[in-house]
Chains A and B, each alone.
Chain A
């Protein structure tokens, strides 16, 4: 009991920090699921408060009309045709100010002011089904994936047949160059080879550094460790000039090679540390049994270093998946990747928060999945690269 009490501040601080850390991401997720009009009218945290006009309706209208609006059959508020006449606050107010059967419409209750009336009118539209807005919707995600940029939603436009010319209203829209669906594929096309190639090359080089004797081994490896801190930005200028000359700008091959070059120092460093820490008796006895270096490499070194390879692959994959700068310089708009495409998620209607938040969450989905599923390898990869010798 005493212990628990002593630890109370610990829990308060820690849980408080965790909440602060989570809150921005929760805000993004909730916002991405709200209808576009709601996003611009109220903060995402208001989803916990009652919907607009609900309280006003409950106190001013519900006593007579009932919670569902159909208590008075002569004035059924759940009937769209009745509510159609009171879509605007002034028409609603003037109706409320009129007498009904010789007595004031509102009876003892006050006639609502303009703002209350507007909210009540909204509530009536929801009751009668004229307003189809729900608290949550997947429309933002569909719009972001298909690259829809119109004034309503992809689904509504497709049902009405008023979609823009570049949309087919079937699965082909996932490949629309303006959408996140296409960008998702492009990100995969960039990230998979760019993860595989450096790891392959690094495994060979790390084996040589660990288990082979050659001149300059020490300083060559020290040089590689040094290369890790060359800022990425420093290499962009000459390489993009080189690519312009040989026509690799805007190609997948170009970005694969660049990521391979840049991922190698870290990959070699990590792999060598892992391979070097394996007991050398294993390799010695393999060699005594007549194994060549090649056999030792692919039958011993590779299978034994699966954990290290996994850490490395996850780290490199996520690094490339999340990269903006390299994709911006070498691919640009020709093959838009996710991080690039998010920047295009703006509409003619302004901020486009509904598209931006959905697009951002689509791009975060895979990293978060990988992180939570393979957290151990992920964290190990980071640790090994930065502190362990």
Chain B
């Protein structure tokens, strides 16, 4: 934050707040208040008439006022969601970053770079709903001989049996992650490509003249130089993946073992009408995101210092 604001521009004490007030009021109403309210609701029962303790059954386990968190942390469906979110993080973050980096490096060496990049980035422009339709069609499964889905048609041509991609456990989560990778690789590619442009051409040339092959140039010069950017992309992607909702909602609705945290929260709120449980899940979600958030703020501070 620049502290060197021209002294002459000093103003009346309340002027800044005139500029800030509209934004602050809206943000307080729509982000700050709901965030706190969610914490409160997570301790209440499903109809918000009493504390969550009232929902305890006499026989079963009870976490008292944190009863909703017992559900959010230990129920079978939520454990499935946690496991799936971990799968999403591992596969989607590594997939998007690796592919994004690969494409960025390759595109840098060809004349049709802008076209190639536009093609990879294009899915970022469309909605999850649109992507859902596109990929549901790719994954289409018929019981008979006629397969109108491209993937099953390929499987059939290769002599295999058509697979019901979206209902087959284990396969279906991977199938959804593929859609995520398809959509977000362009994002990683663009950021990484911008960082690669800043790697000094002379150092690269010097290494090549010294006889280093492209593989070593990549791992020993490019990667270390853009490592800060890679870390940033990874954190941003982890936050995005933790919040993943639309792909799952549109394509499987969280059925067949594809549940994720954010979709479970939606289901609890708008299908089961249990704001207590939904809020508890929201709190768990924010708790998982906080480490990444702290990292982002710290990064912001560092940049401010070097400004």
- For the complex, give the distance between the alpha carbons of A263 and B9 in Å: 29
Partner of A357, one of B110, B137, B279, B301: B137
CA distance A152 to B31 in the complex (A): 48
CA distance A264 to B22 in the complex (A): 10
Whether B125 contacts A368 by the Cβ 8 Å rule is: yes
What's the nearest-Cβ distance from chain B to residue A292, in Å? 9
Question: Min CB distance, A17 to chain B, in Å?
Answer: 6
- CA gap between A365 and B6 in the complex, in Å: 47
- For B246, the closest partner residue in chain A by CB is A324
Whether B23 pairs with A264 at a CB distance below 8 angstroms is: yes
Q: Is B153 in contact with chain A by the CB < 8 A criterion? A: yes
Q: Is there contact, CB below 8 Å, between B34 and A389? A: no
The 4 closest A-B pairs by CB, nearest first: A261-B30, A389-B303, A322-B127, A235-B34
Which of A10, A202, A211, A382 is in CB contact (< 8 Å) with B106? A10
The A227-252 residues at the B interface (CB cut-off 8 A) are 227-239, 241
A15 and B34 CA atoms in complex are apart in Å by 47
> Per-residue 0/1 for B132-158: is the Cβ within 8 Å of any A Cβ (1 yes, 0 no)?
011101100000001111100100000
Please encode chain A, from 272 to 284, with 1 for each CB lying within 8 Å of some chain B CB and 0 for all others. Answer: 0000100010011
Question: Is the CB–CB distance between A234 and B16 below 8 Å?
Answer: no
On chain B, the residues within 8 Å of A233 by CB distance are: 243, 245, 262, 265-266, 282, 285
Closest beta carbon of chain B to A382's beta carbon, Å: 7
B175: shortest Cβ distance to chain A, in Å? Answer: 12
Query: Do A226 and B19 touch (CB < 8 A)?
Result: no
Can you report 22 A-B residue pairs in the complex whose CB atoms are below 8 A from each other? A7-B109, A13-B106, A14-B103, A21-B119, A27-B138, A43-B153, A204-B20, A212-B9, A212-B16, A213-B9, A227-B27, A229-B239, A229-B292, A236-B34, A261-B27, A264-B27, A276-B1, A280-B5, A297-B19, A359-B133, A360-B133, A363-B130
Does A162 count as interface, using CB distance less than 8 angstroms?
A: no
Query: Is A284 within 8 A of B20, CB to CB?
Result: no
B interface residues, tally (CB under 8 Å): 101
B38 contacts A by Cβ under 8 Å: yes
* B129-A360 in contact (CB<8A): yes
Contact check, A237 vs B41: say whether CB atoms are below 8 A apart. Answer: yes
Which residues on the A side are within 8 Å of B16 (C-beta)? Answer: 208, 212-214, 217
What are the interface flags for A5-47 relative to B under an 8 Å C-beta threshold, 1 for contact and 0 otherwise? 0010011011101100111110110010000000111111100
A141 at the interface (CB under 8 A from B): no
**Across the interface, do A379 and B190 meet the contact criterion of CB distance under 8 Å?**
yes
Chain B residues whose C-beta falls within 8 Å of the C-beta of A214 in the assembled complex: 13, 16-17
Task: Taking A325-B245, A389-B307 as given, write out 8 further A-B residue pairs in contact, using a Cβ cutoff of 8 Å, ordered by the A residue number.
Answer: A22-B119, A24-B134, A24-B150, A212-B16, A225-B297, A234-B35, A237-B282, A276-B1
Residue B215, interface by CB 8 Å: no
Residue A383 lies at the interface, judged by CB distance under 8 Å to chain B? yes
Asked if residues A387 and B11 are in contact (CB atoms below 8 Å), the reply is no
Q: Contacts A22-B119, A231-B243, A322-B127 hold; do A43 and B275 have CB atoms under 8 A apart?
A: no
| A226 CB, min distance to chain B CBs, angstroms | 6
A107 within 8 A of B: no
B206 at the interface (CB under 8 A from A): no
Question: With A and B bound together, what is the CA distance between A339 and B246 in angstroms?
Answer: 11
Across the interface, do A226 and B297 meet the contact criterion of CB distance under 8 Å?
A: yes
In the complex, what residues of A have CB within 8 A of residue B249's CB? 324-325
Q: Output the nearest chain A residue to B150 by Cβ-Cβ distance.
A: A27
**Residue pair B30, A325 in contact (C-beta under 8 Å):** no
Contact partner of A201 (CB less than 8 A), chosen from B5, B23, B29, B34, is B23
Closest CB in chain A relative to B7 CB, distance in Å: 9
CB A42 to nearest CB in B, in angstroms, measures 7
B191 within 8 A of A: yes
- Interface presence of B118 (CB below 8 A): yes
B133 to A383, Cβ gap below 8 A? no
Partner of B130, one of A221, A265, A364, A370: A364
Q: Is A110 an interface residue (CB 8 A)?
A: no
Q: How far is the CA of A59 from the CA of B128 in the complex (A)?
A: 47
Q: What is the distance, in angstroms, from A242's C-beta to the closest C-beta of chain B?
A: 8
CA distance A21 to B117 in the complex (A): 11
CB of A386 within 8 A of chain B? yes
* Interface of B toward A, CB cutoff 8 Å: 1-2, 4-6, 8-11, 13, 15-17, 19-20, 22-24, 26-27, 29-35, 37-38, 41, 99, 102-103, 106-107, 109-110, 115-116, 118-130, 133-135, 137-138, 146-150, 153, 182, 187, 190-191, 194, 229, 232-233, 236, 239, 242-243, 245-246, 249-250, 262, 265-266, 269-270, 275, 278-279, 282-283, 285-286, 289, 292-293, 296-297, 300-301, 303-304, 307
What DSSP secondary structure best describes chain B's contact surface? Answer: helix
* Option from A228, A237, A257 in Cβ contact (under 8 Å) with B30: A257
- Shortest distance in angstroms between A253's beta carbon and chain B's nearest beta carbon? 13
User: Which of chain A's residues have a CB closer than 8 A to the CB of B5?
Assistant: 211-213, 280
Residue A171 at the chain B interface, CB threshold 8 Å:
no
In the complex, which residues of chain A have a beta carbon less than 8 angstroms from the beta carbon of B233? 386-387
Q: How far is the CB of A384 from chain B (nearest CB, A)?
A: 11
A208 to B5, CA, bound (A): 11
Q: Which of B110, B148, B307 contacts A11 (CB 8 A)?
A: B110
Give min CB distance, A197 to chain B, whole Å: 8
Q: Give chain A nearest CB distance to B228 CB in angstroms.
A: 9
Q: Nearest chain A CB to B226's CB is how many angstroms away?
A: 11
Q: Which residues of A contact B135 (CB under 8 A)?
A: 24
Out of A232, A288, A323, which one reaches B8, CB within 8 Å?
A: A288
Q: Which residues of A lie under 8 Å from residue B285 when comparing CB positions?
A: 231, 233-234
In the complex with contacts A222-B300, A364-B130, A212-B15 CB distance below 8 A: yes
The one of A238, A293, A342, A357 that contacts B11, using a Cβ cutoff of 8 Å: A293
* Min CB–CB distance A19 → chain B (angstroms): 9
Q: CA separation between A322 and B137, bound complex, in Å?
A: 19
Task: List residues of chain A with CB within 8 A of the CB of B13.
Answer: 214
Residue of A nearest to B191 (CB): A387
B279 to chain A, nearest CB (A): 6
Question: Assuming A237-B275, A238-B34, is B282 touching A41 (CB within 8 A)?
Answer: no
